[in-house]
Amino acid sequence: MSLLDTKNLMQGISLDCVIFGFHNNDLRVLLLELKNIKLCALPGGFIANDEDVDLAASRVLQNRTGMTDIFLQQFYLFGKVSRNVPGHADRLVREKLIGKDLYSFFNRRYVTIGYYALVEYTKVNPLPDEISVKCDWYNINDLPGLILDHREIILQAHETLKSHLNFKPIGIKLLPAKFTLRDIQSLYETILSKKLDRRNFRRKILGFNILNALQERRTGLAQRPAQLYKFNLSQYNRALHEGLNQGW
């Protein structure tokens, strides 16, 4: 943080990235454990005066975690007066997370732009930055202590992710190349935090016309062999562009 060129940064505005990770019916969120204060934080940062906001989000995520090529979607502006906690900048200086020269920059009211992404967390390798001791995945239902309003930001991002399932497909980077309807239903249930009726789910997901049935079945399990599917890439991309016609 001491390397921040605050003269070239927008004043009073920041951004925070909520990176959701999915694997084996487990939904997690990526957090940085900050040095000295034993609290976690979302990967966040600031926007240069001459920088597009979306590009700033990708740069911040890379600088804070080393992660690249992650599609980030802007989802909310957090601007409550209460999100600016008195004494926060003092603590950052006291615990040597920032230098005294940055006190005035941090000791002001900030609104923050929220971004989120959904990745297969076993396929990425996030790393902590210079003010963090760890960069790790935490279960969405068992979050550690967090700075400022970062818990609220995560919960809002999760609600946004769930609502987005009503009009856009997911799964193309979260499931294996070949999968069963049970696999994709488990993905949706994990994100939505609720059980879905098997027959209704099958009818809806097949009605989106984004899946191709294969002449293959998954064998070797206790259950009877299950039909395998793969995504129809052209139909999937079309659904991303045009949206879906029914929700969950």
Compute the average pLDDT of residues 143-166.
96
User: pLDDT tens across 214-247, in order?
Assistant: 999 887 666 678 999 999 999 999 998 888 876 6
Supply the pLDDT for residue 2: 46
Is CATH 3.20.20.100 the right assignment for the domain spanning 6-151?
Answer: no
Q: C-alpha angle 96/9/42, rounded to 5°?
A: 55
The CATH 1.10.10.10 domain(s) of the chain lie at 181-242
The CATH 3.90.79.10 domain(s) of the chain lie at 6-151
Which fold does the domain 181-242 belong to in CATH?
Arc Repressor Mutant, subunit A (1.10.10)
Supply the pLDDT for residue 1: 44
Amino acid identity at 65: T
Question: Which residue is listed with tokens 């999937």?
Answer: 236
Alpha carbons 150 and 16: distance in angstroms, whole number = 9
Supply the pLDDT for residue 225: 85
Compute the average pLDDT of residues 21-46.
95
